[in-house]
Amino acid sequence: MSLPPPSSDTAALVTGASSGIGAEFARELSRRGHQVVLVARSGDKLAELAAELGAGAHVLTADVGHPAARAALPDRVAELGLSASMLVNNAGFSTLGPVAKSDPAAELNLVEVDIAAVVDLCSRFVPGMVERGRGAVLNVASTAAFQPLPGQAAYGAAKAFVLSYTQSLATELRGTGVSATALCPGPVKTGFGERAGFAEGDFDGALPKVMWVSAADVAKKAIDAMAAGKRVVIPGAVNRVGAGLAQLTPRALLLPALARVHPGLK
């Protein structure tokens, strides 16, 4: 398995491309010669990134939390004279705190962005890839996918969904020339935590420095994994060990320990 080759009429569509890991996906794919379609709500940030990347970068401002915006994307890509040879479902966010104090609108928006958008866009773009006999999907999950996460209950469950969905999709796509990979990063220095409501220093001690991986390194490892046709990639040796231990530890022991250290429950 390998990535589809760069061409003048294909591109990688990257959601949540305006910053953080999404922007690094776009940079890495562009370095490898691919055109990129940058999708996010922030048109100004996308325009800045497109200017950096050059003529092969195309901006589509859209909020993938809205079904109508997602439904319009295939036609908008076609209007650029392109088809999506790769789909990177990177857009996502987390809420913070106990369910008993949650905002229903924010929780449902998380479900739309972190779950529904993944399913919707795969359903819209994967059939064309299969028809052409070549393509690759990257769905961004998290190491939070490997255990429930008190304090971020909806986020942990959403990422578990993305991991399971992608593994099933990868199996369905065997023999089609299309691959599907789930990326499960641990902690990464981006604006993600601030949007969720974490304060600086919230995870000091709970998440040792050795667990942190740069956004650029995460993007490179993820795209290498796509090229190799891997189903799951977890950047960082410590994070891989942690994900394995989380699956093996009895929930009666693991969940109270997680709840004790989680900033959202303090």
2 inside domain: no
Structure confidence at residue 193 (pLDDT): 47
97 inside domain: yes
42 inside domain: yes
Average pLDDT, the chain: 92
The one-letter amino acid at 2? S
127 inside domain: yes
Structure confidence at residue 91 (pLDDT): 97
pLDDT above 60 for 86: yes
Tens of pLDDT, residue by residue over 42-79, are 999 999 999 999 999 999 999 999 999 999 999 999 99
Q: Total domain count for the chain?
A: 1
Q: Which of 25, 125, 155, 192 is catalytic?
A: 155
Residue 36's domain spans which residues? 10-265
CATH number, domain containing residue 199 = 3.40.50.720
75 inside domain: yes
1 inside domain: no
Could you please report the per-residue DSSP string of the chain?
A: --PPPP-TTEEEEEESTTSHHHHHHHHHHHHTT--EEEEES-HHHHHHHHHHH-TTEEEEE--TTSHHHHHHHHHHHHHTT-EEEEEEE-------S-GGG--HHHHHHHIIIIIIHHHHHHHHHHHHHHHHT-EEEEEE--GGGGS--TTSHHHHHHHHHHHHHHHHHHHHTTTTTEEEEEE------SSHHHHHTPPTTTTTTTS-GGG---HHHHHHHHHHHHHTT-SEE--SHHHHHHHHHHHHS-HHHHHHHHHHH-GGG-
Between 82 and 204, the higher pLDDT residue: 82
Model confidence band, residue 248 (pLDDT cutoffs 50, 70, 90): very high
**Residue 120 tokens, joined:** 């919707």
5 inside domain: no
CB 59 within 8 A of CB 66: no
Structure confidence at residue 196 (pLDDT): 44
4 inside domain: no
CB 57 within 8 A of CB 26: yes
Whether residue 155 lies in the annotated active site: yes
